[in-house]
Amino acid sequence: MTKFKLAIPANLLLGCKVDEWLEIALRNQVAEITLGGPINYKLPHILFRAKSLKHLDCDDVEIPYYEVVDLVSLEYLHLRDVVLEERMLFHIISSCLNLKELVLKFCPSFKNLVIPRHSKLEDLYIGGHVPEDGGKVILETSSLRSFQYNINGKNAPWPIISNRGLLRNLRHLSVTSLSITGEDFSKLLPELTSLEKLKFIGCHMLTNIEISHTQLKQIFFLECDDLLNVVIDAPNLKKFKFYGYTEPSLSITIHSQANCNIHIYTYAWYFDTDGFFKLKKLLKGLNSCNVLKILFIGGSSQVS
């Protein structure tokens, strides 16, 4: 058996039967398990001693604390609306030495998330709720290739990086509602030597930002409505996208052979003389691009 997938209706409580079915699947060396069920279904201990399991995807379940976690083959762990203690989350991450991808969506019960030094984790996604007040994401590993910190609600602090250089292998960084300024990012950028894709969403503390990076290929600013000035020197940039209420003063320097696509979406109910001056200034700030698309949402003006 390679895959076991079970969706349990919320009004149908079959906890004991699910335990039996899981046991059968695990006896047959199942590699991938997908479970979705009522919030009061507790994953049994046998599941966390499954040496054959490579992919575990859980939705609306509870994970109790177990002393023994022996998921030696686990590579992908996806948890959505899952209740688990902080110590159990750390126990899983610390024990699963081959874990490559961790996805946490709307799992609000942990406070601190620590990615230990020995971890081989490459892809980390934290979405939905921010960790509890005072909580932190602490990175101690240099293995990360993709980090998406997409939270809701209040602005969250930037994760703690225990040592300089731990982000040298990061290629994709996406942050939402992060309390980060342009000055903060300028200090961080030299450590992101391999970064190729950068996305800011709803980061309202960003007002002025300068980005100089030779490896960057994609840059996105989405709903960063306090952004005033953006200066980009990225010779290999392939795609730039801005989406917001007011377009900032924008300067982008790229190689003429980079074939860069630039998309700017901004809200405007009418396009007056000031609007044309802003557009002229914007076009002056773009030295070369393959495709330029400017869309004024809410009005009838569109430039391509």
Region label for 73, one of left (φ > 0), alpha (ψ between -120 and 50) or beta (otherwise): alpha
Please compute the mean of the pLDDT values over residues 103-109 and round it to a whole number.
83
The yes-or-no verdict on residue 14 having pLDDT over 70 is: no
Rounded Cα gap, residues 113 and 160, in angstroms: 10
- Return the higher-pLDDT residue of 51 and 1: 51
Sequence ranges of the domains in the chain? 180-304
The answer on pLDDT for 50 being more than 90 is yes
292-300: average pLDDT: 62
Give the model's pLDDT for residue 199. 96
Q: What pLDDT sits at residue 101?
A: 97
The three-state (H, E, C) secondary structure of 112-170, written as one string: CEEECCCCCCCEEEEEECCCCCCCCEEECCCCCCEEEEEECCCCECCCEECCCCCCCCC
Residue 204 has pLDDT above 90, yes or no: no
Mean pLDDT to the nearest integer, 136-152: 86
Residue that has been written with the tokens 């610390």 in this structure? 94
Would you say 58 and 32 are in contact if contact means Cβ atoms under 8 Å apart?
A: no
pLDDT tens per residue, range 52-75 = 999 999 998 889 999 999 999 999
Indicate if the pLDDT at residue 256 is higher than 50.
Answer: yes
pLDDT value at residue 39: 67
pLDDT value at 283 more than 70: no
pLDDT of 174 over the 80 cut: yes
User: If we measure between CA atoms, which residue out of 231, 170, 174 comes closest to residue 201?
Assistant: 174
Q: In angstroms, rounded to a whole number, what is the distance separating the alpha carbons of residues 35 and 250?
A: 47
CB atoms within 10 A of CB 255: 13
What integer is the mean pLDDT of 114-118?
86
Q: Which residue has the higher pLDDT, 159 or 231?
A: 231
Residue among 202, 198, 201 at smallest CA distance from 212: 198
